[in-house]
Amino acid sequence: MNILPLFLSLTTFFSTLLGGLFALKNQDRLHRILGFTAGILLGVVAFDLLPEIMNLVHSTGVKPIVPMISLTVGFLFFHSLEKLTQIHHHQHEGGNERQPRIGVISALALSAHSFFDGVGIGLAFQVNTTVGLAVAAAVIAHDFADGLNTVTLMLVNKNSGKRSFGLLLVDAIAPVLGAASTLFFQLSDKSLLLYLGFFVGFLLYIGASDILPEAHADHPSKLTLLLTILGTIFIYVVTRVNL
């Protein structure tokens, strides 16, 4: 049994935790963190997930329209989920504030992605050690951002620091569980292709509808815009280093 994937997935636990703790300790500068997070999400989609989808389309022979349908379904699913929750809230409480449950749903969705990050590490090592190490390095590098995103989404939707930390722990342990699960099953490339498309739709939705608008709502500034650009560049560098 190769325990190296499990060991490396434990490293992602601490990387995710550090990202989330950074967000918790800097709530007074949350708008700047949101700006940087928006750039990170854009970078992950453009320089990490979409190229991976293209590679899988090429290797599996699946038509490109298939993951694009999955992307659209993911975007519309989370859009519908958020709007229906808000409609329910208005009808029963007459409120207009942001919803803590939306933050929880978003954080759990990110945790699901982190779980499959761990799956990716485990499956990469099933190919060979070189591929496994490359995938693990990429996951460890951007899991800091995953922790940051999880806490940011919780806080911006009016969840408490305590609850945000609880969801951060869920997100941090998810890659470890994902890596461990690969000892028992193997995900096909076609299934991974559908999953990646769905998750890209989710990231595009929360970035465009939640994070960017909130970052500039009360504190529009050139610095926040600059941080968005820097977040995108950061992910570009991370993904290029680990090619």
pLDDT in tens, 158-195: 888 899 999 999 999 999 998 898 888 776 888 878 87
Q: What is the pLDDT of residue 151?
A: 87
Structure tokens at 116: 């499959």
Give Cα 156 distance to the centre of its chain.
16
Half-sphere exposure of 185 (CA within 13 A, CB side): 9
Amino acid identity of 8? Answer: L
Amino acid identity of 175? Answer: P
Which residues have CB under 8 Å from 186's CB, separation 6+?
123, 126
Q: What is the pLDDT of residue 2?
A: 66
Residues 114-171 have pLDDT tens digits of: 887 788 788 778 766 766 776 676 677 667 777 887 888 888 888 888 999 999 999 9
Percent of the chain with pLDDT over 70: 84
3-state secondary structure of 57: helix
Query: Rounded to whole angstroms, how far apart are CA atoms 137 and 141?
Result: 6
Higher pLDDT, 191 or 30: 191
Regarding pTM above 0.85, the answer is: no
Q: Interior CA angle at 72 toward 95 and 212, to 5°?
A: 50
Q: Do the beta carbons of residue 9 and residue 140 sit within 8 Å?
A: no
* In the chain, domain spans: 4-241
Query: Rounded to whole angstroms, how far apart are CA atoms 98 and 183?
Result: 40
Give the 3-state secondary structure percentages of the chain, helix then strand then coil, rounded to 5. Answer: 85, 0, 15
Query: Rounded to whole angstroms, how far apart are CA atoms 3 and 35?
Result: 38
Q: Do the beta carbons of residue 119 and residue 136 sit within 8 Å?
A: no
Considering the chain, what is the average pLDDT of its residues? 80
